[in-house]
A and B are shown apart, each in its own frame.
Chain A
Amino acid sequence: MKIELKDNIKRRNRTNGRFRYFIIAGAAVTVIPIFLIVGNLALKGYRQINIAFFTEPAPDTFQAMTAASSGEVIPGGIANGLTGSLLMVLAASLLAIPLGLMTGIYLYENREKRYAGIIRSLTEILQGVPSIILGIIAYIWVVKNITRGYSALAGSVALTIMMLPLIIRSTEETMLMIPTTIREAAFALGVPYYKMIYKILIPVSFSGLATGVLLALSRILGETAPLMLTALGSPAISFDITKPVSAVPLLIWDFYNDPNMVNLVWSASLFLMVFVLSMNLLSRRIASKRKYI
């Protein structure tokens, strides 16, 4: 059986090499935006970052205009956004973390049941719902019917709905990684069911759960769209949950719409991005140091 061989080896090796370059180039192009974005933000944003940035509320457009025209640092900062974000995230966490944890544990403990499968599918669907839609929902439920007006509560509700599926999924996944022998050992020692959950299941999976919570938090900290329909924004530093309140991303949006505030946008964006990315990195560090077998 004669087979013509030699001729195509060189061509194939060449195609092989060329494809490899294509892959490397593609991968390089993919990461270029990170450097561009981070670089741009760092360069243009550092100037506005000072103590006042964190302690003073946002300036009004007039102050900004005068500062901008004389080339000075704009007075004021994002304090009202910081407090607003803090308020809403806290409220959302208070609701979402316990609920999410319990639902996640429920799914883990009742894995085979059809009902659990339905809940799991619904959770996945919920996770994919665009955040702006959750803003509509929170508007209908809270702004129209509960607080009769924009409020931090409405914002929290939207954020809670966003956090829930993330926490539920990470809880279930974390628990699935615990070897069944630990549970069996606990039962063999006569530990009652509810004690097993909060004395063994949760502590053992703690770092995984913490990772999930941190990731959920970093996700909602950067969200703007739902807050536009619920918390609206406010120039005051307030902790009243029934009134409109600002948030860091909302401030960025306000600044963006005002050409005088450009410098502040860079700084606020830089701050937000650094904060969110740090939380991401933190959760990754915790995840890699996990100790359970």
Chain B
Amino acid sequence: MNGDRVTKALLFISSLIILLLSAGIVLSLTGGAIPAFKEYGLGFITSTVWNPTSGSEEYGAMPFIAGTVITSVLALIICIPMAFSTSLFIAEYYRGTRTAGILRSLVDLLAGIPSIVYGFWGFYALRPLLIRTGLTDQGFGVFTASLVLAIMIVPYATSLSTEIISMVPAELKEAAFSLGATRREVIFSVVIPSARSGIVASFILALGRALGETMAVTMLIGNANLIPKGLFSPGNTMASVIANQFGEADGLKMSALIAIGLLLFLITALVNAAGKLIIKRFA
């Protein structure tokens, strides 16, 4: 009996760690960010100034918020057709075949490649290609970063969508077929409407992943602390400005960076929560 009580206590205590961690993270981030907010008020969020020269320091988060949102959304847009066709391939057209199995494994491999390797590959292999197309002269910028980001989030979007699509009951599809619909018609009139919320949720979760991506984006976005002017212009994201400037920061600048971290944390948590909520409610 004693052994039981000890065990149960131990298990309970270890679960407390999660509580402590979560609370600790929120507290530390908020605490570290307060100096910046005290100095600049809530306008910090919308200000586009980023001037670290001592004597006239002023910091604002907007360039980075813009950079993060733009690259992530663009990455999602690029990723959607790829993920969509891949999940339909695996879950519908070639369902159960070896090819589908191989495809699935290949896509999973994409998820295993470390972010820094993506960034590096993007830098040395993708950039020259893009420079050759003439659309950009240095190769850094929103588009390059978003393109690599899209490749990185494809596995997340695909795996969940595939699961949802394969859960559509066979009898519904058979009923549609027996009425004379072609495969494509069955997909658009029965499969997709049934799986719609799950598919949307998987894309939202992929977006959540893209928002927090650091290394690959840092290496490709050009690190310009302003709102990007165009598709191929450089910019910066919340994660990459932290990665780049945290090391030598202190005082107000560090607080500004932590504040940006807090904002990133909140945005990511919200997006992920939204995705999970949709799954729970509708799928």
Contacts and interface: CB of A to CB of B under 8 A. Distances in A.
Contact of B258 (A37, A136, A256): A136
Nearest to A44: B124
Contact of B89 (A23, A105, A136): A23
B112 interface: yes
Interface stretch (A46-54, A76-84, A119-127, A175-183): A119-127
A270 B20 CA distance: 38
A141 B32 CA distance: 11
A237 interface: no
A224 B240 CA distance: 12
A23 B52 CA distance: 50
A34 B106 contact: yes
Given A31-B106, A41-B121, A125 B112 contact: no
Given A31-B107, A276-B112, A15 B264 contact: no
Interface stretch (B9-17, B41-49, B55-63, B133-141): B9-17
A125 B273 contact: yes
B85 A23 contact: yes
Nearest to B89: A27
B261 interface: yes
Nearest to B209: A128
Contacts, number: 235
Contact of A222 (B108, B117, B213): B117
A277 B117 CA distance: 12
B95 interface: no
A218 B33 CA distance: 32
Interface in A205-256: 218, 221-225, 228-229, 232, 249, 252-253, 256
Interface of B: 1, 3-4, 6-8, 10-12, 14-15, 17-19, 21-22, 24-25, 28-29, 32, 81-86, 88-90, 93, 103, 105-110, 112-118, 120-121, 123-125, 151, 154, 158, 182-185, 208-209, 211-215, 219, 239, 242-243, 246-247, 257-258, 261, 264-265, 268-269, 272-273, 276
Interface of A: 12-13, 15-16, 19-20, 22-27, 29-31, 33-34, 36-37, 40-41, 98-99, 102-103, 105-107, 109, 115-116, 118-119, 122-126, 128-137, 139-141, 161, 164, 168, 192-195, 197, 218, 221-225, 228-229, 232, 249, 252-253, 256, 262, 265, 269, 272-273, 276-277, 280, 284
27 contacts: A13-B182, A16-B183, A23-B88, A27-B86, A30-B82, A36-B121, A102-B10, A106-B14, A124-B276, A125-B273, A126-B25, A129-B269, A130-B212, A132-B212, A132-B261, A133-B261, A136-B32, A224-B114, A224-B116, A224-B214, A225-B215, A228-B246, A249-B116, A252-B120, A256-B116, A272-B114, A273-B113
